Amino acid sequence: MRKRKVIISPECNEFINSSSNRARSKFGFLVEIVIEQKLLPKNFVEKLTNTEFYELKIKVENQIRIILFTLDAENINESEEVIFLNGFIKKNKKDYLKAIKEARKNLNQYLDEKK
Protein backbone atom coordinates (compact mmCIF):
# COMPACT_ATOMS: atom_id res chain seq x y z
CA MET A 1 0.00 0.00 0.00
CA ARG A 2 1.12 3.50 -0.81
CA LYS A 3 1.40 6.08 1.97
CA ARG A 4 -0.97 9.01 1.88
CA LYS A 5 0.56 12.42 1.24
CA VAL A 6 0.43 14.76 4.28
CA ILE A 7 -0.31 18.48 4.14
CA ILE A 8 -0.24 20.48 7.38
CA SER A 9 -1.70 23.98 7.35
CA PRO A 10 0.30 26.78 9.01
CA GLU A 11 -2.42 27.05 11.70
CA CYS A 12 -2.22 23.36 12.49
CA ASN A 13 1.57 23.47 12.49
CA GLU A 14 1.49 26.37 14.95
CA PHE A 15 -0.86 24.44 17.25
CA ILE A 16 1.37 21.36 17.15
CA ASN A 17 4.58 23.32 17.71
CA SER A 18 3.05 25.12 20.71
CA SER A 19 2.28 21.76 22.34
CA SER A 20 4.51 19.82 24.70
CA ASN A 21 7.16 17.39 23.45
CA ARG A 22 4.96 14.50 24.55
CA ALA A 23 1.96 15.81 22.59
CA ARG A 24 4.11 16.45 19.49
CA SER A 25 5.55 12.96 19.72
CA LYS A 26 2.10 11.40 20.00
CA PHE A 27 0.88 13.52 17.06
CA GLY A 28 3.77 12.19 14.95
CA PHE A 29 2.91 8.62 15.91
CA LEU A 30 -0.80 9.08 15.08
CA VAL A 31 -0.02 10.78 11.77
CA GLU A 32 1.96 7.68 10.76
CA ILE A 33 -1.12 5.57 11.51
CA VAL A 34 -3.35 7.89 9.46
CA ILE A 35 -1.06 7.90 6.42
CA GLU A 36 -0.22 4.19 6.47
CA GLN A 37 -3.37 2.34 7.58
CA LYS A 38 -6.47 1.62 5.52
CA LEU A 39 -8.67 1.17 8.60
CA LEU A 40 -8.24 3.78 11.29
CA PRO A 41 -8.86 3.06 15.00
CA LYS A 42 -12.01 4.81 16.20
CA ASN A 43 -10.41 5.71 19.53
CA PHE A 44 -7.97 7.99 17.63
CA VAL A 45 -9.87 9.02 14.50
CA GLU A 46 -13.54 9.79 14.07
CA LYS A 47 -15.60 11.38 11.29
CA LEU A 48 -17.46 14.49 12.43
CA THR A 49 -21.18 14.19 11.68
CA ASN A 50 -22.52 16.32 8.82
CA THR A 51 -19.07 17.61 7.84
CA GLU A 52 -16.22 16.63 5.55
CA PHE A 53 -13.87 16.63 8.54
CA TYR A 54 -12.33 13.99 10.77
CA GLU A 55 -10.89 14.48 14.23
CA LEU A 56 -7.59 13.09 15.38
CA LYS A 57 -7.74 12.72 19.18
CA ILE A 58 -4.52 13.11 21.11
CA LYS A 59 -4.97 12.27 24.79
CA VAL A 60 -2.02 13.54 26.77
CA GLU A 61 -1.37 15.44 30.02
CA ASN A 62 -5.00 15.17 31.23
CA GLN A 63 -6.17 17.00 28.11
CA ILE A 64 -7.66 15.99 24.82
CA ARG A 65 -6.12 17.78 21.86
CA ILE A 66 -8.16 17.61 18.69
CA ILE A 67 -6.68 18.05 15.23
CA LEU A 68 -9.22 18.47 12.43
CA PHE A 69 -8.34 17.05 9.05
CA THR A 70 -9.91 16.13 5.75
CA LEU A 71 -9.12 13.83 2.87
CA ASP A 72 -9.02 14.20 -0.90
CA ALA A 73 -11.68 11.51 -1.36
CA GLU A 74 -15.02 10.76 0.28
CA ASN A 75 -14.01 7.20 1.06
CA ILE A 76 -11.08 7.07 3.45
CA ASN A 77 -9.78 3.92 1.74
CA GLU A 78 -9.51 5.75 -1.60
CA SER A 79 -7.81 8.85 -0.25
CA GLU A 80 -4.25 9.67 -1.22
CA GLU A 81 -3.92 12.96 0.61
CA VAL A 82 -4.52 13.97 4.23
CA ILE A 83 -4.87 17.68 4.98
CA PHE A 84 -4.43 18.62 8.66
CA LEU A 85 -6.22 21.94 9.09
CA ASN A 86 -6.23 23.12 12.71
CA GLY A 87 -6.21 22.02 16.31
CA PHE A 88 -7.63 22.90 19.68
CA ILE A 89 -7.76 21.66 23.25
CA LYS A 90 -11.20 20.19 23.87
CA LYS A 91 -12.99 21.78 26.79
CA ASN A 92 -16.60 21.43 25.70
CA LYS A 93 -18.80 20.69 22.67
CA LYS A 94 -18.99 24.39 21.68
CA ASP A 95 -15.28 24.31 20.82
CA TYR A 96 -16.14 22.23 17.76
CA LEU A 97 -18.29 24.91 16.09
CA LYS A 98 -15.48 27.45 16.12
CA ALA A 99 -12.89 24.84 15.08
CA ILE A 100 -15.02 23.62 12.16
CA LYS A 101 -15.39 27.21 10.89
CA GLU A 102 -11.64 27.67 11.08
CA ALA A 103 -11.05 24.31 9.37
CA ARG A 104 -13.33 25.33 6.48
CA LYS A 105 -11.47 28.64 6.15
CA ASN A 106 -8.08 26.86 6.15
CA LEU A 107 -9.30 24.25 3.66
CA ASN A 108 -10.62 26.92 1.28
CA GLN A 109 -7.33 28.80 1.56
CA TYR A 110 -5.40 25.61 0.77
CA LEU A 111 -7.62 24.80 -2.23
CA ASP A 112 -7.26 28.37 -3.56
CA GLU A 113 -3.47 28.19 -3.29
CA LYS A 114 -3.44 24.76 -4.96
CA LYS A 115 -5.18 26.12 -8.10
pLDDT at position 37 is: 84
Q: How many CB atoms lie within 10 A of CB 18?
A: 10
CATH number of 44's domain: 3.30.2310.20
Residue 46 sits in which domain range? Answer: 5-114
Instruction: Report how far residue 83's alpha carbon sits from residue 110's, in angstroms, rounded to the nearest whole number.
Output: 9
Nearest to 86 by CA among 13, 19, 31: 13
pTM, entire model:
0.91
User: Tens digits of per-residue pLDDT, 12-71?
Assistant: 999 999 999 999 999 999 999 888 887 788 889 999 999 999 999 999 989 999 999 999
Residue type, 87: G
Mean pLDDT of 67-90: 91
Return d(Cα 68, Cα 58) in angstroms, integer.
11
d(CA 38, CA 40): 6
| Average pLDDT estimate for 74-86 | 89
If one counts the domains in the chain, the total is 1
